[in-house]
Structure 1
Amino acid sequence: MVNQIGTARTTAPCEIHNNPTPKTTKGYSFSQSANDPYFEAAVHAARTRTHQLATRHGLSPAEREDVLQELMLDLLEHRDQFNPAKGSPGTFTGMVSKHRAIELLDGLIKQRMR
């Protein structure tokens, strides 16, 4: 087989493009996130909670990034518990992020006291 440059290809085609989209925890794939209301609500909730904690408690940039990542991970792990018949994605992600943010803040305060 000849590639676009005109030289012969010596290796097999890349298998990455032939495989389905890799799954994250509990079967949620990132390709589903493009138009997914839950994912959009999760991103909004995580960013909002992180900003609130950073503003009220003076988090460093590294702490902000850690909190944002922890919140996103937790929200994606709770994806299977969301029931659209019981409420909107924004309500669910807001409550989950609020509870997790409290836990993270407690950990940060304890860490600062050492």
Structure 2
Amino acid sequence: MPTDQLSRTFAALADPTRRAILARLSEGEATVGQLAEPFAMSFAAVSKHLRVLETAGLVSRGRDAQYRPARLDARPLAAASEWIGDYARFWAGSFDSLGSYLDKLQQHDTTTAKENDDA
């Protein structure tokens, strides 16, 4: 199992069921039973997914007698978003450079075509 926070976050997000659970929790806290409703899986399976999310720090669980609601804790997502943002800036810069290069090529082709037409 990954040991650093960013790796735990991405490992938890790698599973579509866990992403769906997080999406549901973004609407408010829920019990295991409520989280299990849209899935064809047992409460135990949903509980395992919740444990992975808890280990990653993405979910916290309360306790009120027998009621143990799960809550989204989005703080680890901020670090993941920042990490992804660094690469988004890289790609944006790369696409800007590519766009400039293509503009130069197009200008060159237009100039060459005009010179050929004038000849």
**Fold match, TM over 0.5?**
no
The structure with more strand, counted as a fraction of residues: 2
Structure 2-normalised TM-score?
A: 0.28
Structure 1-normalised TM-score?
A: 0.28
Q: Which structure has the larger Rg over C-alpha atoms?
A: 2
